[in-house]
Amino acid sequence: MPNRASAPGHCCSTSYAIKLEVSGSGNQVLPSLTSQALRFGQGQWRPRVPPSTTDIVSSNKSVPMTKPEALQLHHLPDDVLHRILSRLTFRESSRMGLLSRKWQKLWRSCCPKLIFTRATMFKPGNETIRRTRTNFARRVNSLLRQLCAPPTLNKFVVKFGLRRKHTCHVNRWVGFCSKLRARHITFDFTPGVKGIFRGLADEKYIFHLHVFSVPDRSPAHIKSLHLSYVWLNTATTGFTGFANLKKLTLHKVSFLNDFQHLMLSECTALEWLSISCSSFTELTLCKPLRRLRYLSLHYCYMEKVELEAPNLTSVDLTNQPIPLALSESLKVMEANIKLLHKSVLYGDNLDYICTELPAALPHVQKLSITSTLCIYDELQSFAKTSVRFINLRHLSLYLPLYGDGRSVGGILRLAYLLELAPVLEELELHFRFSDFVIRQAIRVDMLPYRHDKLKRVVMSGACHWQGLIELAHHIRRCASRLDCMIMDPMVRIKGLPTVDWLEERGRRIAKELLKRQEFQGVLTVL
């Protein structure tokens, strides 16, 4: 009987598959190769086998089939391997460079992201190498010496608690990312948890911006810049500004000269500005920032902010009450304001909230305010203004209360917020506990302000102060179209403790004192 394998014209073709797993790349599909290379199918790379390489069996005699050499990952074209390495993390791509000389050459020539942190420079759990600043600097220098210069460096990050005595190393790294035209640069020298209270301002590294403006280099390639725990020197000769800088983040930065006029005024393309825990008294610019969309200022203890940013949409501020001159910013949609406590007896920030903020942010639609509120009978009146939040629809107030739990007039000042926001739809009031026991609802007779837009009210921690029960009555009388009022006895302010028995007591008080006809179908006690 003739052998089936020797039938005329019968041939056997063998297909191969290479499974490609790239960490951190998700399910992204690599670009297609040339027509004679590989084709993609069902999550695997399958090479097309040319007819010349198949085992053709003649009709007269059978030829034993031989399995060709399996196709390995390094057989792929170099451009595909470059794309694979670019999708790996810095630690993973550097480990790939240890496999062979070819992989080392590929890694050295295509490393678009250089991220030097404690996690990438020291293996977790390895206690044989001390994680000192000197060892960190030596490892970074060793890696940079191995790299070939890529055409463009996308990201350069150094995050370690270095000091001014490491200036020679840091200067070399700054020059490296300037020479390779890095787009996103981060130098974060913030001390760790152990050294946070031992760091001195005199130990900070001095960051000279003129490094980016030497004759053969230009800062025009920089898109984002993040500096932490440094002295910033902007007065050096030759610095021409960052013409294309879009994002600037400064944390614990000290300034040797006029930072805002010498640097910020020249960042005409800036879209994101974040400054925190830095030392300067005011933010005033002589030139407008027409592309600025986000402004964040935290714990800078400024005395004034005067800015012309017509396209500003979001503001995030943590400071004492200060004048805000943002009259040209008519597109602000969201603002998060945290006001630090006043040191004045019987003083709080409610006057500032009701007078200064409406003038500074008249078009804001979503506003969140955190501020202490003092509850005393001495605080029953405050200044009023004709300026309104004309577009405000969502207002959240986080108010740690201090004072007399029996006082009513101090809390009822919050009722003026309904007049300030005529189109308000959602109101959230978050308070803290009080040990005072409320036994009855006084229902102070206040002239109600008719509000036709308010639909939802949430009050947390609100069942422990006499004035808050009265405030709930007043809001219900003012809001003719109120759909829902939620009384939550739990404290929702971050950093304040919760007490179970106080929550249960507040829940019982709310149900007893708010069981009235006007609250039926509207009130929900959690």
Give the count of beta carbons closer than 10 Å to the beta carbon of residue 246: 18
What are the extents of the domains in the chain? 75-111, 118-270, 332-525
Per-residue model confidence (pLDDT) at position 168: 92
CA angle 241, 245, 248 (to 5 degrees): 100
pLDDT of 316 > 90? The answer is yes
Give the count of beta carbons closer than 10 Å to the beta carbon of residue 20: 15
Q: Please give the structure tokens belonging to residue 114.
A: 């250089």
Per-residue model confidence (pLDDT) at position 14: 37
Instruction: Report the range out of 294-298, 329-333, 376-380 with the highest average pLDDT.
Output: 294-298
Q: How many residues does the chain have?
A: 526
Per-residue model confidence (pLDDT) at position 119: 84
Long-range contacts (CB closer than 8 Å, 24 or more residues apart) made by 163-166:
163/133, 163/189, 163/203, 163/204, 163/205, 164/202, 164/203, 164/204, 164/205, 164/206, 165/203, 166/133, 166/137, 166/205
Mean pLDDT over each residue of the chain, to the nearest integer: 75
Per-residue model confidence (pLDDT) at position 445: 61
Per-residue model confidence (pLDDT) at position 442: 57
- The residue with greater pLDDT, 88 or 122, is 122
Q: pLDDT band at 16, cuts 50/70/90? A: very low
Is the distance from CB of 238 to CB of 288 less than 8 angstroms?
A: no
pLDDT of 28 > 50? The answer is no
- The residue with greater pLDDT, 119 or 52, is 119
Collapsed DSSP state (helix, strand, coil) of residue 178: helix
Q: pLDDT band at 56, cuts 50/70/90? A: very low
Give whole-number Cα distances, 469 to 173, 246, 437, in Å: 61, 48, 12
Q: Which amino acid is at 187?
A: F
DSSP3 helix / strand / coil % (the chain, rounded to 5) = 25, 20, 50
Instruction: Report the range out of 295-309, 469-483, 485-499 with the highest average pLDDT.
Output: 295-309
Q: pLDDT band at 91, cuts 50/70/90? A: low
Q: pLDDT band at 475, cuts 50/70/90? A: confident
- The residue with greater pLDDT, 389 or 113, is 389
Q: pLDDT band at 294, cuts 50/70/90? A: very high
Characterize 342-367 residue by residue with b for buried, 16 or more Cβ atoms within 10 angstroms of its Cβ, and e for exposed. Answer: beeeeebbbbbbbebbbbbbbebebb
Could you give the CA distance from residue 251 to residue 475 in angstroms, rounded to a whole number? 42
